[in-house]
Structure 1
Amino acid sequence: MRHNKLWKKAMALTCAAACAATTLAGCGSSTQAEKPSEKTEAQGESGAAEGQTEITFTVWDYETTDYWKKLVEAFEAENPDIKVKVMDIGATDYDTKIPVLLSSGDTSDVITIKSMNIYNSLVEKNQLMPLDDKVKESGVDMAPYQGSDEGIRIDDKLYGLPFRNDYYLLYYNKTLFDQAGVEYPKNDMTWDEYRELAKKMTSGEGNDKIYGGYCHTWPGSLYRWGLSEEHSMADGEYSFLKPVYELFLGMQNEDMSAMDYGTLKTGNVHYSGPFYKEQVAMELMGTWFANMIINTKNKGETSVEWGAVRAPHFEGQEPGTAVSNPTPIAINKNAAHPEEAWRFVEFMCTEPGANILAGLGTLPAYQNEKTIDTLVNVEGMPEGFREAIAADNFVLECQMIPQAGALEQIVAEEHDLIMLGANSIDDGLANMAKRVNDLLSK
């Protein structure tokens, strides 16, 4: 086993970075209508064969995410008495449609959870099945979840098993560092060291400019660096975020070493583009990005030579602390086939599914020596990736409160005003605090 991780529960905001978080692999933008996938083999559109039970698996971006079909096929091969029918919903519409679907009395069996505010809402409405008894009866070893299961308990009950547990790394372009004659980033740098490194790696002008750093437009891409066991986005007091804003605004406006927030926002720039086009030397992004880079290189759509290290930390913060966002897979309280649904969830979220996920270059929530060895030995994974993903402690990005969605909106609005220069850092954080306190007092 690698590090013996401790889970530190920090109540914080489910944000656009958390996805919004991924496709599961990085904030999908699909707008396809809710529909079964056209791939009959994975879907079972023709219905279950004689002697088979058909269960429905609801997920987003099935067609554009590399592991869903492989996981479904592997499960069906090991469980020939079960056929999985996939309900594929576009990522953009997913969080809107799932509550409507379940509120209608739908008997879909297995539900992938895309954001923690939806998870909290579905539990509050009694639409998800508690899984503690299933876990106990099946003898599931919870230790490999490294505590991510504890992070998604509500009222001490578990309503989903963690499928993925994403957190941010510092990705870097080896070629650009080699050309500049600058040493690669190291694990556990301070943010001051990162800022100085970004200055060194910034060069050129106009369309030929190379930026040393990059911070995406999701609010959580910035505020996550201030979260800790002591501070969360539900505090109603946000002075702890001031050094974070000072850092990134300083890089943008003083050093000119990071791409302009307004330009990125107005242009709706996807975070992968600048890295693939080798316009940035370093980029802070989630663990899912490794899988995306490898797949994009395999398609010949980028030639970037890359590495990754653990994210920097502020002085006084504990190195190796990761702000994480688990992705659970749950069972509908009204599932037509709850026993078969549990067999599928157990497969997806324990070692069998974790090994498939890791073999495709994506970090699973269920982690043991086998799954980590599988992940770091994927073709195209850079040297040192094992050390990059080793987290000593976690704080939870997501919060389990009914106001999570409204709180998220407030933070996003005030974040925009600060980053665009419409408000000072102090005024923006004061406004954020006032609005959040007003919300939480209702």
Structure 2
Amino acid sequence: MVLLDAAGVIGRSALPYNFKEEAIDMAERKGLLVLLFVCLVFVLSACGGGAAKNADKGAVEKETVLSPEEEAARVANSKLELVFLYPPSGTEEIFMSRFGDRLQKKFPQYKLTFIPRQSDNYAALLGSKQPIDIMIVSLNTTGTYLTGMGLESDISDLIKKYNYDLTKIEPSLIEIQRRMANGGIYGLPYTPGAMTFLYNKDLFDKFGVPYPRDGMTWDEVYELARRMTRTDGGIQYKGIAFGFASVIRSNQLSAPYFDPKTNKAMFTADAFVQSFTNIARFYKIPGMELPNNKYIEQADQFLKDQTVAMMIHTGGYVTRAAEALKNWDIATIPTLKEKPGVSLQAGPDYMYITNRSAQRDAAFQVLSYITSEEYQEWMAGNLAFVPVLKDSKKAMQSFGANLPGIQGKNVQALIQSYAPMSLASPFTANANSEMNNALNAFSAGKDINTALREAAERVDKLIEQEMKK
């Protein structure tokens, strides 16, 4: 019998000595030594192999931890579908020309699905549980289409995950999102929706009046409007026209339409009355009355009839002016004496990732691209939209470069220091209508306080009825 002694030395139980047994003993010792050597090699190999495997496993695990840039690239190259809803504009042609064509080039792996306008049965669309990855709406219709329908989703986690730099965006456009989302953020802007101050040079030349200049106050523009309002050759010329509800909603005192806690109209608050009075006074200039007592025809008088010298309206009128007028330009928005350098509030448009999105990472790659310098410069050059970038001077150098009639205009006047924005409401559109009604009532002879009080009563009654449903 072969044994191991306490010292590990191979031995044998005591037996009488003979050569045959010694030969056997020597053979057994050699065999046992070989066996132990093999076992030792096996154990060491197993230990070493396990360590090697663990090391390899650790290396693999380490390799699969991607940086934000690598993760973004991985998502961008994934084959998936993104569904877009663009309620205010609604047509696929507009969507593709503004976003879709560029997104398809940037993310060729993505299938972009566009839901046509559903204004008449929007609630039915939402009730169908239709997947919606990205919704595109303005701040002023966010309450109607997003938060009012419970589709909002905080994207703070994605901003952190991809190290997205919010400081590159105009701060007021992010601040209003923070207020809306109680410190979170629901979406990123693609344009600030800056208001514009346009004027027809030919009319100023006709009457020998100096052009509007950058840095004017409202009082100075009022005096200029008085000078330009006159009858000549049987034609009534007017000094200025407004996108009235847009200007009032965007007032420089940041007076809101509604109390955010009660949803009650604040049309009779001092700051709001002051803002309304500032603009409504222009319509008391003899000859400046509303056409047929209707607000809607003012833009036509500026663009088509070309009997209005100046117009303050939303940013989309830059391209319309370029198409309609031969000799025109842009000035900075007039300011209040007590608010020097402060323009009207922005009216931004946002891309929101909804809580129905199953492709949040891919949707965020879209938002990141739309707010990139690359897209913002393209947008400025081809769509004549003001960039959302905090430092937009470079992008503005290409503003309207690929559109006829804009080159050489004072487009730098579109870079503004915006007044703080008011929160959006699901009833903003109703308030806009009531602003036009109040202007019509004022133009027809009612005093401002009565016109605004009656407008507030009407919209409050409407909201009360809606809240009961």
Tell me the TM-score normalized by structure 2.
0.69
User: How many angstroms apart in 2 are the aligned matches of 1:371 and 1:384?
Assistant: 15
What does 1:160-199 correspond to in 2, within 5 Å? Answer: 160-199=187-226
Aligned-pair CA distance for 1:151: 1.2
From 292, 295, 312, the counterpart of 2:334 = 312
The residue aligned with 1:157 is 184
Asked if structure 1 preserves the Cα contact closer than 8 Å seen for 2:196 and 2:313, the reply is yes
User: How many angstroms apart in 2 are the aligned matches of 1:63 and 1:284?
Assistant: 29
Distance change in 2, residues 1:272/1:131 (3 Å): farther
Aligned-pair CA distance for 1:213: 1.1
User: How many angstroms apart in 2 are the aligned matches of 1:279 and 1:220?
Assistant: 22
The residue aligned with 1:394 is 419
Moved more, 359-368 or 307-316: 359-368
The residue aligned with 1:78 is 106
User: How many angstroms apart in 2 are the aligned matches of 1:415 and 1:303?
Assistant: 27
Aligned residue type for 1:334:
R
Residue 255 of structure 1: SS of its match in structure 2? Answer: coil
The residue aligned with 2:351 is 329
Identity value in percent: 17
Asked if structure 1 preserves the Cα contact closer than 8 Å seen for 2:138 and 2:348, the reply is no
Asked if structure 2 preserves the Cα contact closer than 8 Å seen for 1:376 and 1:385, the reply is no
Aligned-pair CA distance for 1:270: 6.7
The residue aligned with 2:12 is none
The residue aligned with 2:286 is 255
What does 1:61-210 correspond to in 2, within 5 Å? Answer: 61-62=90-91, 65=94, 68-69=96-97, 71-89=99-117, 94=119, 97-119=121-143, 122-123=146-147, 125-147=149-171, 148-153=173-178, 154-204=181-231, 208-210=235-237
Aligned-pair CA distance for 1:353: 2.5
Asked if structure 2 preserves the Cα contact closer than 8 Å seen for 1:102 and 1:127, the reply is no
User: How many angstroms apart in 2 are the aligned matches of 1:128 and 1:357?
Assistant: 26
Higher relative contact order (Cα pairs below 8 Å, separated by 6+ residues): 1
Task: Identify the structure with the greater helix proportion.
Answer: 2
Distance change in 2, residues 1:164/1:211 (3 Å): same
Q: C-alpha deviations, 1:111-166, integer Å up to 9, x for none?
A: 11145354476336542322111122222222232111221232111111111111
Give the paired residue count. 374
Aligned-pair CA distance for 1:260: 1.2
User: How many angstroms apart in 2 are the aligned matches of 1:212 and 1:197?
Assistant: 7
Distance change in 2, residues 1:255/1:419 (3 Å): closer
Residue 356 of structure 1: SS of its match in structure 2? Answer: helix
Aligned-pair CA distance for 1:309: 0.8
Aligned residue type for 2:162:
S
From 60, 77, 81, the counterpart of 1:54 = 81
What does 1:294-373 correspond to in 2, within 5 Å? Answer: 294=322, 297=323, 302-360=324-382, 361-367=384-390, 368-373=392-397
User: How many angstroms apart in 2 are the aligned matches of 1:320 and 1:390?
Assistant: 11
Distance change in 2, residues 1:404/1:253 (3 Å): closer
Residue 399 of structure 2: SS of its match in structure 1? Answer: helix
Residue 210 of structure 1: SS of its match in structure 2? Answer: strand
Residue 269 of structure 1: SS of its match in structure 2? Answer: helix
Asked if structure 1 preserves the Cα contact closer than 8 Å seen for 2:137 and 2:145, the reply is no
2:459 counterpart of 1:429 = no
Residue 158 of structure 1: SS of its match in structure 2? Answer: coil
Q: C-alpha deviations, 1:218-274, integer Å up to 9, x for none?
A: 42334544x415x33336343334455555444333332x35154434xx4372553
Distance change in 2, residues 1:406/1:260 (3 Å): closer
Aligned-pair CA distance for 1:427: 1.9
Asked if structure 2 preserves the Cα contact closer than 8 Å seen for 1:129 and 1:332, the reply is yes
Structure 2: runs of 5 or more not aligned: 1-77, 260-265
Aligned residue type for 1:202:
T
Aligned-pair CA distance for 1:328: 0.8
Asked if structure 1 preserves the Cα contact closer than 8 Å seen for 2:289 and 2:443, the reply is no
